[in-house]
């Protein structure tokens, strides 16, 4: 059974840490931050981490490892066990890569933050996982604007020890390069979002987390499995490709695969006919439930409805737009 914890969410709380995963590759990467190397990699600079930064890692690591037993999937637990990742210090990417390379042929490369889409996909297509080399500040434990070393390493790297995930993410990198040329990257990005970042898997002993955005988030690790507000829906590829997601809060819907082998079948899919078939069809909102959905749990929607009610009731000052720019 999942470790009992108080539900740390309510309509009054700020958004979750998982917003850090909102654009692993995307518009926030600009030429002003471009490093000298064309692949955007930098030295991790492990020796430059301060005691305070290692202490932040320790706080995050200890509270998350206490929470995840009975919540994270077996493959995540096994990956964490077999990697040189512990509480006392931020992991050294060279040590992680030594173990990963022997298991699945992957390595971890340091980047300064968000990277352009093409750079991101090139790395994945060649089994290089770009990880931010910085760590959040003590006041940002549960919310930050871009993925840091805790999200990238704690959330993603244990799953790269699994051959199915390793092959799937490489295939996503290859597919991303094609989708970018076709102008349909938004459709493919939804598949990544609802699997690699926010995916759930059905184990024999219940639903479990395999998505990094959930596994690295103290609050969403509870919300995704326990909160009655969220929809939990059987994964169907075209459905997911047409479904928007939330970048500023918990997901309204989570998509569930029966096992990680399902991702291997996705890696073999020819997406070109799918892009053509769904072109021009309307997208679904994050909380939409369809008559054709295979529902594991139909959510109440209470959490997000309460947030919307609060937002709509908040007076807007004259001359100020009610929506963000």
Catalytic residue numbers read: 151, 156, 197, 216
What end-to-end distance do the CA atoms of the chain give, in Å? 44
- Distance of alpha carbon 221 from alpha carbon 203, whole angstroms: 16
Counting other chains too, the contacts that 99-104 makes at CB distance below 8 Å and 24 or more residues apart are 99/161, 100/157, 100/160, 100/161, 103/161, 104/160, 104/161, 104/162, 104/163, 104/166
Tokens 């600009």 — which residue?
A: 30
Is beta strand 231-234 parallel, antiparallel or unpaired with respect to 206-209? unpaired
Half-sphere exposure of 306 (CA within 13 A, CB side): 12
Instruction: Indicate the SS3 state at residue 132.
Output: strand
Beta-carbon contacts of 255 under 8 Å, excluding residues fewer than 6 positions away, are: 194, 195, 199, 200, 233, 234, 235, 236, 239, 240
- The C-alpha atoms of residue 252 and residue 302 are separated, in whole angstroms, by 10
């Amino acid at each position: 059974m999942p470790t009992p914890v108080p539900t740390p969410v309510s309509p009054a709380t700020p958004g979750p840490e998982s917003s850090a995963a909102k654009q692993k590759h995307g518009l926030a990467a600009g030429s002003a931050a471009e490093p000298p190397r064309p692949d955007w990699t930098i030295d991790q600079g492990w020796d430059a981490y301060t005691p305070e930064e290692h202490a932040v890692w320790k706080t995050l690591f200890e509270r998350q490892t206490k929470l995840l037993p009975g919540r994270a999937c077996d493959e995540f637990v096994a990956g964490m066990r077999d990697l040189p990742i512990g509480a006392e210090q931020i992991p050294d990417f060279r040590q992680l890569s030594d173990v990963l390379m022997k298991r699945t042929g992957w390595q971890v490369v340091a980047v300064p933050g968000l990277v352009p889409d093409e750079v991101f996909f090139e790395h994945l297509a060649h089994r290089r996982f770009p990880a931010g080399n910085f760590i959040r500040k003590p006041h940002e434990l549960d919310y930050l604007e871009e993925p840091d070393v805790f999200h990238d390493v704690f959330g993603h790297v244990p799953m790269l020890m699994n051959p199915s995930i390793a092959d799937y993410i490489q295939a996503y990198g290859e597919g991303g390069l094609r989708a970018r040329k076709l102008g349909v990257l938004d459709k493919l990005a939804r598949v990544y979002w609802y699997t690699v970042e926010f995916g759930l898997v059905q184990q024999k002993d219940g639903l479990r987390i395999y998505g990094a955005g959930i596994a690295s988030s103290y609050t969403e690790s509870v919300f995704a499995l326990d909160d009655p507000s969220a929809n939990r829906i059987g994964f169907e590829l075209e459905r997911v490709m047409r479904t928007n997601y939330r970048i500023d809060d918990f997901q309204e819907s989570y998509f569930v695969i029966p096992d990680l082998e399902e991702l291997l079948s996705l890696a073999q899919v020819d997406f070109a006919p799918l892009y053509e078939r769904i072109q021009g069809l309307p997208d679904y909102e994050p909380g939409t439930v369809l008559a054709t959905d295979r529902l594991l749990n139909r959510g109440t929607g209470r959490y997000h409805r309460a947030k919307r009610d609060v937002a709509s009731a908040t007076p807007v000052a004259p001359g100020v737009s009610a929506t963000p720019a």
